[in-house]
Amino acid sequence: MIFVFIDAKFKQFIRYIVVFKINIIYYICKSEMKEEKENIFTIFDDILQRKEKEEFLKQKSKVIWVTGLSGSGKTTIAKGVERYLHSHGILSQLLDGDNIRVGISNNLSFSADDRTENIRRIAEVSKLFLNCGIVTLNCFISPTIEVRKIAENIIGEENFIEVYIKASLETCENRDIKGLYKKARKGEIKDFTGISAPFEAPENPKIEINTSELSIDESVQKVLDYILPIIKNN
């Protein structure tokens, strides 16, 4: 006979994942309800709170909001940060256009209104991860100060770490791994940030990284130097 042993910590972690999924379902239901005067889902008064989950995971949850032009290096740097955190036992989740646009925002276009709604949804999902004790790495152009402020207001100023990946338009066009700038220049992509739509650089980001000057490893380290003292639960 084969016995499978699951320790208490793993059971607790599974419980957190289930609760997180319940929160996602609740968010979707809530967003579709016309009347939101009263929360009828009383279970949420009894679920474990963020502090208890942070204590279990031995970390402090934050939302690292990485903004910059397409091709500036946002996701590349965030992946490096994610790998480091994982190797040091810090649970994190990376969100970017690839896993958001095919899922929760697959019904949205790239119009100004839909871009704002996309950021709102991302911020709400990030808040759920935050309340689950998880460090969230968000990589989105989020081109205006206003739209990033919407995200910050939802997530909470104390939980929102804005990282500006700075790279000149020329640098980003030269990289153009996906060929998006070339298509935008030909008019094949409308409202493309940096070409036919504006990008407003953050005024006071917590971290600013110029990828025209720093290597990927140097950029990752700069982010880690800032966030590790904040997210480590000593």
What residues act catalytically?
142
According to DSSP, residue 232 is labeled: B
Evaluate whether 143 touches 197 at the Cβ level (below 8 Å): yes
- Bridge partners (DSSP) of residue 64 are 137, 161
According to DSSP, residue 138 is labeled: E
Task: State whether residue 13 is helix, strand or coil.
Answer: helix
Evaluate whether 173 touches 71 at the Cβ level (below 8 Å): yes
- Cα angle at 107 between 104 and 111, to 5 degrees? 110
